[in-house]
Amino acid sequence: MDPVTEIPADAPAARARHAALVQEIEEHRSRYYGDDAPTISDAEYDALERELRAIEARYPELVEPDSPTLTVGSAGVATGFASVKHRERMMSLDNAFSLEDVELWLARVGREAGDHEVVCEPKIDGLSISLTYENGVLTQGLTRGDGTQGEDVTANVRTIRTIPERLAGDSIPALVEIRGEVFMPVKQFEALNEALRADGKAPYANPRNTAAGSLRQKDPGVTGQRPLDLTTYALGALEWGDTEPDARLERQAGIYDVLADWGLPVTEHARVLRGAEAIDGFLRELEAKRHSLVHEIDGAVLKVNDRSVQRQLGSTSRAPRWAIAYKFPPEEVHTTLEDIRVDVGRTGRVTPYGVMTPVTVAGSTVAYATLHNAHEVARKGVLIGDTVVLRKAGDVIPEIVGPVVAARTGAEREWTMPAECPSCGTLLAEQKEGDKDLRCPNSQFCPAQITDRIAFIGSRGALDVEVLGEKAAAALVESGVLANEAALFDLTEDDLRRVPMLTYEVDEKLTKKQIEAGVEGRKAGDVAENGRKLLANLADARTRPLWRVIVSLSIRHVGPTASRALATAFVSMDAIRAADEVALADVDGVGPVIARSVIEWFTVDWHVDIVERWAAAGVRMEDERDESTPQTLAGLTIVATGSLEGFTRDGVKEAIISRGGKASGSVSKNTDFVVVGENAGSKATKAEELGLRILSEAEFVALLEGGPEAV
């Protein structure tokens, strides 16, 4: 039950809320199972069902035989397909929403069945299917429906290439119901949506609904054109006839082996584990790599391995007691797109972003999400006022996936990209013909660009000036103290007295003890502590290495990697300014596009003025060439992932680059070593899949000191 769920304290109120919940849940089930066009997210649906369970637990007299807590799917949904009874019921699964819930389930089944092995596998976000084979020949395909009866989609099932018409092998039963999940691979789903957008059609919301809708097409030819796939994982009715039963089926894991022998696709990610610690580890590992799988998953399924124990544990009216579905925290929710506005960045790029009704997703509250450019707004097909699908995968920036078209009321409206810069009024333009991005060309005087460039200088990836964030940068520009970034390192206390944010608003109150000690309090208008700290931070920033100074200039295309490469190759700002395009482009990690951008940047007088003013103020413009550092990593490409005890993120890169190596941010077959620390994610998984050499932190230190031979 959600902590925020409030159960009505009296029976009449509980009865009213119960009735409302039942009606709402059934409506959502109808949209989900019948129309394949739900208007709320899975997480929102789960919350409704948990609330209903909580009310029924307190007021059991409200429970009816057809309550959503006791039934599966949606009964009586008219879909146009014949309804056929399953030989053996297709049950649902109870849900666990935390590792603690999983441990409680393990304890519960353990009390009745003792210690046991558990099969753990990904929970594919698709459409459940039951395939009937008689004497090895496919005779019927049914959706789950309400668990008792499903829709006959046999003709459509036959168009899915991974579903065999005839089972392979010799040990074939007279009749078997095979349960599985039909899904649409993520990459194929994205390609399908691109084709729809190219035709001016609304994109699909997610792979699950698209797979379900594709399987329910009235014309099997349409289904056959959709890239559907299948994974199988269970058996229903089973009659061996004259064939000797396969003993492997007495273990859940053995079912997968038998299904594979019959020529049916099974997951390659299933594991047989014992104990809460091992299972917790699997769930964390699966969640870390969920976005690298071919299909979408929304959790994991845990099943007792011993099928005799399964029979002993039995089932409730809707779900087996020997299995449970662990749901990952939702990364995808529904919310309202209240408005689309634009932001002007430090390079003049004008970026639309969505303003949404705040919603919690992946553990944080989100109210804004980038829409990249006007082409992307059109590609996604979103309208102001839409219910939209919002996704935030782990630490990834929140993304508006697309609209929930079924939820539209007609009150939604289209958005138009502004023609003028919202900050300075300058006409927006493409930097070069065919650009998807529009930019404000007034880079010298546009307040938004100046503010963003100054704030960027303060960021950790640039000069790391602690007090110089967005608010301080805006205050310095709005007060007229800074016309641009050129005078940043010339700031004095007198300058800061003109910035209200950095001064005392009222006289500082002193204690009696301070007054007696002769302490002089600050008066209104004096520079405040944060102002003095800003000046101290700027003094420290003057000594940062050259590559950080290059990053801070906001030269288009020149990020940390190119800045490091330029600083390493040329050592001084003067040498970079004097280099021609060929010499710049010849630097590994630079290339012709970045080289042209650097050349063009230094042709602008006010750009050159920034560099010269900074140099005059004592900002470091030259690195000392350290010939003493051995080039132990020359020619090697190294990726570091996770947290290392002895290195910061930047420290790892410095250590690699200073020894002649390339510090890459992505794993590929060209990667020589992958350094794995605590809480490593998908990069570590990909390294394992590619068979790359993985190093611990201790081995990484040895590599730095002695090169490849040392490890």
Parse the chain into domains and list their residue ranges: 11-62, 83-327, 332-442, 489-616, 637-710
pLDDT score recorded for residue 34: 54
pLDDT score recorded for residue 80: 65
Burial class of residue 217 (count of CB atoms within 10 Å of its CB; 0-12, 13-18, 19+)? middle
Grouping H, G, I as helix, E, B as strand and the rest as coil, residue 683 is: helix
Which listed CATH number (1.20.58.100, 2.40.50.140, 3.40.250.10, 3.50.30.30) goes with 332-442?
2.40.50.140
- Residue 216 is encoded by which pair of tokens? 């329910």
Grouping H, G, I as helix, E, B as strand and the rest as coil, residue 116 is: coil
Would the CA dihedral through 642, 646, 647, 648 be positive or negative? positive
Q: Decide the pairing of beta strands 399-403 and 662-664.
A: unpaired
Four-CA torsion 219, 224, 226, 230, nearest 10 degrees: 120
**pLDDT-above-70 percentage for the chain:** 91
C-alpha pair distances (Å), 404 with each of 217, 393, 473? 20, 19, 39
Terminal Cα distance for the chain, rounded: 51
Angle, in degrees to the nearest 10, between helices 649-658 and 560-570:
30
φ/ψ of 251, rounded to 5, equals -120, 140
**pLDDT-above-90 percentage for the chain:** 47
Grouping H, G, I as helix, E, B as strand and the rest as coil, residue 553 is: coil
Q: In which region does residue 263 sit, left (phi positive, over 0), alpha (psi from -120 to 50) or beta (all else)?
A: left
C-alpha pair distances (Å), 159 with each of 81, 154, 266, 554, 590? 17, 9, 19, 54, 49
The rounded distance, in Å, linking the Cα atoms of 446 and 594 is 24
- Residue 53 is encoded by which pair of tokens? 């369970």
CATH superfamily assigned to domain 83-327:
DNA ligase/mRNA capping enzyme (3.30.470.30)
Ranges of beta strands (E only) in 199-245 are: 229-239
Taking 70 as the pLDDT cut, the residues of the chain under it are 1-9, 30-39, 65-66, 70-80, 112-114, 205, 362-363, 393-396, 506, 508, 510, 514-516, 519-522, 625-628
Element (H, E) at 687: helix 682-690
Grouping H, G, I as helix, E, B as strand and the rest as coil, residue 399 is: strand
Q: In which region does residue 9 sit, left (phi positive, over 0), alpha (psi from -120 to 50) or beta (all else)?
A: alpha
- Residue 690 is encoded by which pair of tokens? 């590619």
Element (H, E) at 639: strand 637-641
C-alpha pair distances (Å), 548 with each of 64, 486, 622? 67, 16, 11
pLDDT score recorded for residue 486: 95
Grouping H, G, I as helix, E, B as strand and the rest as coil, residue 369 is: strand
Burial class of residue 278 (count of CB atoms within 10 Å of its CB; 0-12, 13-18, 19+)? middle
Of 96, 19, 152, 7, nearest to 319 by C-alpha is 96
Which CATH number is 11-62 given?
1.10.287.610
pLDDT score recorded for residue 57: 81
| Beta-bridge partners for 179 | 130, 234
pLDDT score recorded for residue 519: 63
Secondary-structure class of domain 489-616 per CATH: mainly alpha
- Residue 485 is encoded by which pair of tokens? 């970034």
User: Residue 418's Cα: distance from chain center in Å?
Assistant: 30
The rounded distance, in Å, linking the Cα atoms of 573 and 149 is 74
**Residue 533 falls in the annotated catalytic set:** no
CATH topology of domain 637-710: Rossmann fold (3.40.50)
The rounded distance, in Å, linking the Cα atoms of 547 and 566 is 7
Among 85, 123, 653, 669, the one annotated catalytic: 123
Give residues with Cβ within 8 angstroms of 425, minimum separation 6.
none
